[in-house]
Amino acid sequence: MADRPGSEPGSPDAGRPNILFVFVDNLGYGELGCYGGGEVRGVPTPNIDRLAAEGMRLTNMNMEAQCTPSRSAVMTGRLPIRSGTVRIPLPGQPSGLTRWEITLAELLSSQGYRCGHYGKWHLGDSPGRQPHERGFDEWWGLTETHDSSLWSTEAGYDPAVVPPEQLLEGRRGEPSAPVGDYDVAQRALFDAEGFGRGEDFMRRCVSEGQPFFLYLPLAFPHFPTLPHPAYAGVTGLGDFADAFRETDDRVGRLVGVLDELDIAGDTLVIFTSDNGAEDVLPWRGWTGPWGGSYFTAMEGSLRVPFIARWPGRIPAGRSSNELAHATDIFTTLVRAAGAEIPDDRPIDGIDLMPWLEGASDSSGRESVLCFVADRLHAVKWRNWKLHFIWQEYMGDPPIELSIPRAFNLYDDPRERHDVFLPSNTWVQRPVMAAVTEFWDSVAAHPLIPVGAEDPYVPPAA
């Protein structure tokens, strides 16, 4: 790689990578070719598959059950129940992360990284909680979610009562400004705009000798799953398939820019999803071998594709079924950038880099606590899953179980056959040890209430 003038201690020249993080929205485990989908679903995904072949593919990456909690976990390294970000925000209450939380972007920025965000934030819309106020130097996109693009298509919608959602852009030190209404026409253009801005951001950072963190939280495939007009009809299989083709093409182009700029070996690329498959018709996705839907603790909700590529650091062509969780992304990226993990609060994420680099066969994680909103629905421990609250699909009522249901996920990936009684009650011991450890930490560091306002100050335990 060519020398960069003015590199900071946190730059790739000091062994710390640029970071390109593509975060798709509701992509099912089984959709990509490298996860058993691709042409099986009618749309090959050669560019994303190539990314997996050149890096490491995880088969047991676990996210949270909804958009906001997953994004919170990635940005803070903390389980969302700690941060008061347990569900998609309700209108009329303070939403997103309190200013007390320390974000991934803030820590990377402290190491000299330039941070850009282009896409959906969903972690706060009020002043002080938007991306350019939480560590990003610049941003464009939505503070909320993509459902709002459908409002203007519905009979009875009154923009005088509920104004259209706005696309926004902002820079550090300046207020965000609206750049247009977000409707179905803009939904179809959303990802093209994000990729375009992201490419421009990378080029500017390289030309100025700045290491970068590029965060691209895409619209794809969140409903309404609409392709850019240039891709409409290309597959002959409808909007969903056309949008898949578009996304694979755009990922391929963006990764190609790293080669063009001669920074591929200095850039850690992550491609993953915020939770399992879209479950709203006619845009329903595919969870592969896993059962259930998002907004639950089923595997189809939690398990997502995850690909990490860093040429020369992460060996190519590897895969692993070791446990990993959204919070681990935070810790891994903070450590890769040379920043310090906050020590004044519980951080639930662990550093996956030794495992990704091949120095260890273990991820270092044995359990995942599966909260849905503020209730502990299940716990994963090794290849086991113990459900305390049973809910298979988003619209099902959650059922409190008097006796837990246990599943060996090697034998029963769709969680159909409860094997808790009589011979597997032993699984409750390590599961409850993980639960107890979590609640002990809460006693020392109380949970932030949902809707907490700023300035937030943690109470004394």
Order of strands, edge to edge, in the sheet holding 367-372?
Answer: 367-372, 375-381, 384-390, 399-408
Q: Which among 393, 333, 325 has a CA at the least distance from the CA of 363?
A: 325
Residue 443, H or E segment: helix 428-444
Q: Which among 323, 324, 327, 453 has a CA at the least distance from the CA of 384?
A: 323
Q: Which among 307, 337, 343 has a CA at the least distance from the CA of 135?
A: 337
Decide: 326 and 347 in contact? Cβ < 8 Å.
no
**Which one of the listed residues 115, 117, 122, 222 is annotated catalytic?**
122
Question: CA-CA distance, 117 to 123, in Å (whole number)?
Answer: 13
Q: Which among 242, 202, 282 has a CA at the least distance from the CA of 41?
A: 242
Neighbour tally for 230: CB within 10 Å: 13
Q: Which among 256, 244, 232 has a CA at the least distance from the CA of 283?
A: 244
First vs last C-alpha separation in the chain: 50
- Residue corresponding to tokens 């902002």: 170
Question: CA-CA distance, 403 to 406, in Å (whole number)?
Answer: 10
Decide: 82 and 445 in contact? Cβ < 8 Å.
yes
Q: What is the CA radius of gyration of the chain?
A: 21
Question: CA-CA distance, 379 to 302, in Å (whole number)?
Answer: 12
**Which one of the listed residues 67, 115, 205, 370 is annotated catalytic?**
67
- Is 122 tagged catalytic? yes
Question: CA-CA distance, 246 to 18, in Å (whole number)?
Answer: 25
What does the buried/exposed string (b/e) look like for 309-340 if buried means 16 or more CB atoms within 10 Å of the residue's CB? bbbebbeeebebebbbbbbbbbbbbbbbbbbe
Catalytic residue positions? 67, 122
